């Protein structure tokens, strides 16, 4: 059985305890938590105390929800040394917090080699950018090892780690049991490979099988482009092969839905459950 979840900032805006109760009532079993995107919450490193972590843990436990991902999506390839240091410190704080919260992974994307965190067609996919990212990720993963928690990177076409093969390079270079992958199929797509997406997904599930720790699920429509995303079931994605992989190779994996709205989240979940049950 796959444990489907929701990005908490996509849920109905309510006080935390009510929000969690609503998410559980919709049938979800876990959430993706980005503290900076939740009203009344903070992700400031100095605020990530044991008391804060325990408060949240009690709230999630009482609602019967796991924290699948504690998100901290900051640029580890920025050329600004001061910004890089602050970003690495925020990752360390989130990893420590995750150990107290009991989060599945601390999740991140892989950045771009500029201060604006913008895709650069000439530089973002360069070997130099990849080496910079690996160098700056390495001490963060060391902290993950010290705290006994998982760090997970999410490959995205418009970032440095843009393909399954590129992700494999990072995993092999870091060589740590505390580094895994968040597999978001749609994020691996671009206009250049959207028509061969099944090959892209199969490559990811083959090359990264051992390290896939979480799946992100959303949809897209080809005519509006892969950067226009929506809830699962509303676009052109065929999730049967991915859910089959999850069901057979990753029992009870966390799979969190993205780009849902409060009024279609349950519908998206039911759509995915029907596929899972048919496999």
Cα–Cα nearest to 210, from 243, 237, 175, 235: 175
pLDDT in tens, 20-62: 999 999 999 999 999 999 989 999 999 999 999 999 999 999 9
Radius of gyration of the chain from its Cα atoms, rounded to whole angstroms: 18
CB 124 within 8 A of CB 159: yes
Q: Tell me the average pLDDT across 152-164.
A: 98
- Per-residue HEC secondary structure of 53-66 comes to HHHHHHHHHHHCCE
Residue 227 has pLDDT above 90, yes or no: no
Cα–Cα nearest to 19, from 53, 76, 65: 65
Query: Which is it for strands 219-221 and 225-230: parallel, antiparallel or unpaired?
Result: antiparallel
Q: Residue 224: pLDDT band by 50, 70, 90 thresholds?
A: confident
Q: What is the pLDDT of residue 83?
A: 98
HSE-CB at 262 with a 13 A cutoff on CA atoms is: 8
pLDDT in tens, 177-218: 999 999 999 999 999 999 999 999 999 999 999 999 999 999
Q: How far apart are the C-alpha atoms of 66 and 43, rounded to whole Å? A: 19
Structural domains of the chain ordered from first start: 3-278 (3.20.20.150)
Listed in sequence order, the residues at least 6 apart from 80 whose beta carbon sits closer than 8 Å to its beta carbon are: 115
Listed in sequence order, the residues at least 6 apart from 75 whose beta carbon sits closer than 8 Å to its beta carbon are: 83, 87, 111, 112, 117
Q: How far apart are the C-alpha atoms of 15 and 32, rounded to whole Å? A: 17
Q: How far apart are the C-alpha atoms of 82 and 260, rounded to whole Å? A: 36
Q: What is the pLDDT of residue 225?
A: 83
A 10 A CB-CB count for 134 gives: 20
HSE-CB at 62 with a 13 A cutoff on CA atoms is: 13
pLDDT in tens, 87-125: 999 999 999 999 999 999 999 999 999 999 999 999 999
Stated as kind and residue range, the H or E segment containing 217 is strand 212-217
């Amino acid at each position: 059985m796959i444990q489907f979840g929701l990005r908490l900032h996509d849920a109905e805006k309510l006080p935390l305890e009510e929000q969690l109760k609503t998410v559980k009532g919709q049938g979800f079993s876990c959430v993706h938590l980005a503290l900076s995107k939740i009203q009344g919450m903070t992700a400031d490193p100095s605020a990530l105390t044991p008391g804060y972590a325990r408060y949240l843990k009690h709230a999630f436990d009482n609602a019967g929800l796991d924290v699948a991902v504690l998100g901290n999506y900051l640029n580890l390839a920025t050329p600004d040394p001061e910004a890089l240091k602050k970003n690495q410190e925020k990752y360390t704080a989130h990893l420590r917090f995750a150990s107290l919260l009991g989060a599945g992974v601390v999740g991140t994307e892989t950045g771009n080699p500029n201060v604006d965190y913008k895709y650069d067609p000439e530089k973002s996919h360069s070997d130099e950018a990849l080496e910079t990212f690996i160098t700056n990720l390495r001490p963060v993963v060391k902290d993950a090892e010290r705290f006994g928690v998982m760090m997970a990177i999410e490959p995205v076409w418009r970032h440095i780690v843009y393909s399954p093969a590129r992700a494999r390079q990072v995993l092999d270079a870091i060589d740590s049991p505390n580094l895994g992958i968040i597999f978001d199929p749609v994020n691996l797509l671009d206009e250049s490979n959207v028509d061969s997406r099944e090959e892209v997904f199969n490559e990811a599930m083959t090359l990264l099988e051992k390290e896939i720790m979480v799946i992100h699920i959303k949809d897209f429509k080809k005519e509006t482009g892969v950067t226009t995303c929506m809830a699962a079931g509303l676009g052109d994605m065929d999730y049967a092969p991915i859910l089959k992989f999850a069901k057979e190779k990753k029992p009870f994996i966390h799979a969190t839905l993205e780009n849902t709205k409060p009024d279609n989240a349950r519908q998206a979940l039911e759509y995915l459950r029907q596929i899972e049950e048919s496999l």
